[in-house]
Amino acid sequence: HYRANALRAWEKKLRLSDVERCYEIGRVIGDGNFAVVRECRRRDDGQACAVKVVERSKLVGREHMMQNELSLLGSLCHPRIVRLLAHHHTPAHSYLVMELVSGGDLFEAISERGKFSEAEAGLMVSDVSDALNYIHCRSIVHRDLKPENLLVSIRLGDFGLAMVVTEPVFTICGTPTYVAPEILRETGYGVAVDVWAQGVILYILLCGFAPFRSRDRNQEELFKLIKQAQLLFPSPYWDCITEEAKSLVRSLLQPDPAVRLTAEQTLQHKWVKAMALTCRQRALADKTQRNAADASAEPQRAQRPAQTNADKTRERLFCLVRLRVSLRWTAILSRVSPSPPLAQRLLEIDTGSPEKEKGKWMDCWMNPQKMFFTLLG
């Protein structure tokens, strides 16, 4: 109670200007029901970050969501989970500064691609399972696993609904398409609901649409289909998908959580390991090929800029010569009429001199007398 009061007193002292003094806040890169995510840069060292800006008026009655996210993210350290770097609070907003992960979220990637190869899907399942196994071993359930909360790299984020589970939970929450049947039955649930959601994501990755969907977008009908859990692999969308992949989908979308695979079992699944290895090997081969191509092209790229820069330098100097000569010419004409040879030389410079002449102008342009006699030459 004392710490909560101290935090509130500190929050009243912090203003938006204090936050902006520490961070340069940029464009929006994501949004949700309670917050927007923006690019930002720390002013002291220039490090690029992401800042989740939460409008606190929208969290009235849901303050525990913010507390959960701060306490859980602050305690987690895993390469597949977005790191919380700092957090700041004003009376109107909370600012959660996190590592910036490029590439967008998985939802955007699915929208653009439609579906993924088995190798790509297997690697994503491996990475997500790695993150889920880490939090499940700490009795943490995410409860809102979906493509929008997975960054393409893959990173697991948005722990607003996450909680530590020591006994069955009965609260209904989550996103309808990814919610597990035991949540809807209100029989109590645990970390296995995350594995169900992962099964839904894998199904979407392989064919481009969800396993349970209402034609009329009716939520009651959708929930009925999820509780029935009658899994189908319609043709032609699943005709080219291997039986091993379908078998894993069935194991993840088991309606009985006691029979459903765990995150650790999914991580060790034969198909997942084989597909992840294949995808990593392809990525390594592509990278090696690109590096070889870059290395072979490097000498040519190194020479071209050097030549170009030298040409530009000569052109700049010659322009200065022309400018200085023009000024000197003006001074000369104000006193004498130029002889035909002098006029011809000045005309050459004003209209562009042959390459072999440029060096001569550059050598003498700073000396007016030398320039004059060179022109008379």
Residue 191 per-residue DSSP state? T
Kindly name the residue from 144, 158, 239, 286 that is annotated as catalytic: 144
> What are the two backbone dihedrals, phi and then psi, of residue 87, each rounded to the nearest 5 degrees?
-145, 145
Q: Tell me which residue of 69, 49, 204, 178 sits closest to 124, measured CA to CA.
A: 204
Known catalytic membership, residue 130 = no
Q: State how far the Cα of 166 lies from the Cα of 159, in Å rounded to an integer.
A: 18
For the chain, the helix, strand and coil percentages under 3-state DSSP, each to the nearest 5: 55, 15, 30
Sequence-separated (6 or more) residues with CB below 8 Å from residue 39: 25, 26, 27, 29, 48, 49, 50, 51, 100
Q: State how far the Cα of 120 lies from the Cα of 106, in Å rounded to an integer.
A: 12
246 labelled ligand-binding? no
Q: State how far the Cα of 9 lies from the Cα of 207, in Å rounded to an integer.
A: 52
Q: State how far the Cα of 96 lies from the Cα of 90, in Å rounded to an integer.
A: 12
Q: Tell me which residue of 173, 160, 169 sits closest to 59, measured CA to CA.
A: 160
Q: State how far the Cα of 156 lies from the Cα of 150, in Å rounded to an integer.
A: 5
In the annotated binding site for ATP, the residues are: 52
Give the residue numbers annotated as catalytic, written as ranges.
144
Feature table: binding site:
52
